[in-house]
A and B are shown apart, each in its own frame.
Chain A
Amino acid sequence: MKTLKLIPLMIALTACGGDYKDADKSAPGQDVSFGNQKARVVNGTLDVSGGSIKGTGSIVFDSRFEEFKSGGSYAVDFNLEDGGSVTIVSHANESLASGFEVQYLRQGSGPGSLKVSLRAQGAVWNAVNQFAAIDAAQAIRIQTDVHNDESPAHSITWNRNLGDDFAKEKAILNTAEEVDGSPGIGTGVRWGLILNKATVTRADRSEPKFED
């Protein structure tokens, strides 16, 4: 009888997130460190250890923009399981809502298996063939600018597997050069990542790589 009474208590303690048997697993609200950056898990369960973020969930970084009308650049390296995705969320709120999102989704293997979508303010824009040469089954190294001081935001993406020349002509996606290529702007000052069956090994924010 005593054992039966203890079971709900054990379940409750576990659900509150106060006692994790696996120290590497981080749950919503938990502060974590990734490299020299501080961050917080927003939802899901992520394994933040050994220089990587792994699993399914979202994480918001402590560093933030001074105002939402600003620009940033993100160097993100990741691997995706089939059907998995990594989404860079720029200029969002602390829950990673209301941001400018760039999602990288793996569908299968080989060239053409990386599907990229941009979302903001309820609108979405899907890349058509800009990323067709990339095999999403391989390690991906992306540099993405988000100029949120323009309206709609201007986003430029380079494939760092091809080099670190961030000239406009070297970009694989420049939303200014696609018809209505940007869905809107983000309205917050925070940034983070949404992972779905993914492993991120680098996530750095810097000043925009390209300025007009």
Chain B
Amino acid sequence: MKALALVALLVYPASSFAGSSWQYVTSEATESYSIDYKTDRGQNAPEPAGFSLVREGEETVAKVYYLDASALNSYSYGCHLHGDHAHCHQEGKAEHGSYARLSSKYNAAEMAKAIEASLDIFVRKVAPESAIQSMKIWEAEEMIRFSIAYEKSGPKQEFLACHYHSGTEMDCHRKGNAGPGEPDKN
């Protein structure tokens, strides 16, 4: 039994963010947000306006942004990886002031899906996935936007914009700046 547990730890170390770990965290945080919002307000949660994912040791802190009228609010979660899924627990709620979503073409599942496409380019052209410290995801001008903070001979920033092209595959492009509409920018 101990041997099985050891094998599981070797195969799925909690601190490893290989593969689509950022995607797992995003999906699980979205699920938790939907439940928590309904519990708090008695109605279905609005579609997330974006995400902030920050790696803090073994944990990833995920903020799920949503619009309450014209104000940007968020639920925060501490998330841990367990194999090919994540467990998230709520760590708080916050208000971030007024915010205007610049387009609403994509839902949370599509934003999570775009993580894989953006990381495909990031890993091949920029740095290994293990260099990523945080990422922010939002939508503007019918593009899913990524701002990725990473470490490579000092702190650096990478920007990508993703969209559907010819079907259901996400197509991402590297950008020179974050573009418009970044939520909770500070």
Contact = CB atoms under 8 A, between A and B. Distances in A.
Given A150-B163, A212-B167, A177 B125 contact: yes
B167 A177 contact: no
Contacts of A179: 174-176
Contacts of B127: none
- Which secondary structure characterizes the binding site on chain A? loop
Interface residues of B, number: 15
Interface in B128-186: 163, 165-167, 169-176
Q: Which of B171, B172, B173, B174: most chain A CB closer than 10 A?
A: B173
B45 interface: no
Interface in B58-96: none
Contacts of B102: none
A78 to B, nearest CB: 28
Q: Which of A150, A178, A181, A212: most chain B CB closer than 10 A?
A: A212
Interface string A162-186: 0000000000000111111110000
A147 interface: yes
A154 interface: yes
Q: Categorize the interface residue count of chain A.
A: 10 to 19
Nearest to A211: B166
Contact of A175 (B125, B167, B173, B176): B173
Nearest to B158: A179
Contacts of A147: 165
Nearest to B166: A211
A182 B176 CA distance: 11
Contacts of B163: 150
Contacts of A177: 121, 124-125, 174
| 5 A-B pairs with the lowest CB-CB distances in the bound complex, closest first | A212-B171, A176-B173, A212-B165, A180-B176, A211-B166
